[in-house]
Amino acid sequence: MPFSILKRWFVDPQFARKKRFLRSLDIFHGIRERDIGRLVLALHSRTYHAGEVVFVEGDIGRALFILESGRVDLTRRGPDGAPALIYTLQPGEFFGEMALLESLPRSATATAAENSHLHLLYKNKLDTLLQAEPRIGAAIMGHLARLLSARLRRQNG
């Protein structure tokens, strides 16, 4: 591992903060401490301002979004074409996870309801992790499978 990565791993307070945040999320439960560090390196972080669109319904999904701070509204076009609020995401929640499984159009629009800090895990970064560290990808995919199964059960009553 290059010295710059080792230095960041052990000294950088932002790196340590991101590791603590990721460790607190269910989606990354079961991933070893050193692998959380690799995951931090794979993430892209971005702040969206209030009212800024994260992605639009119909866009092709390419990333999972993890909300660290702020709030994000998910809306879907109604029969009249007007946006209808589906859900407001809170810190610690994630969305867009279907993009990690398939490259299909987004089923909703995501908009920052207030200034919001998000971490993005692009599908190509996850694919790279799957190749290099299969246990990381297996833990994430296992969690996504359980999440999708639970959603399907709720829908089927």
pLDDT of the residue at 64: 92
Pairwise CA distance, residues 62 & 124, whole Å: 8
Say if pTM beats, i.e. exceeds, 0.95: no
pLDDT at 9 exceeding the cut of 80: no
Give me the helices (H) in the chain, please: 3-11, 13-23, 33-42, 123-132, 134-155
| Residue pair 82/14 in contact by the 8 Å Cβ criterion | no
| Residue pair 96/55 in contact by the 8 Å Cβ criterion | yes
Fold for domain 44-155?
Jelly Rolls (2.60.120)
Classify 154 in phi/psi space as left (phi over 0), alpha (psi -120 to 50) or beta: alpha
| Residue pair 135/36 in contact by the 8 Å Cβ criterion | no
Closest CA to 140 of 26, 24, 38, 61: 26
How is residue 49 annotated by DSSP?
A: -
Which is it for strands 53-55 and 63-69: parallel, antiparallel or unpaired? Answer: unpaired
Quote the mean pLDDT of the chain. 88
Looking at 38-42, 98-102, 109-113, 118-122, which range is the least confident one? 98-102
pLDDT at 10 exceeding the cut of 70: no
Pairwise CA distance, residues 28 & 126, whole Å: 13
Domain ranges of the chain: 44-155
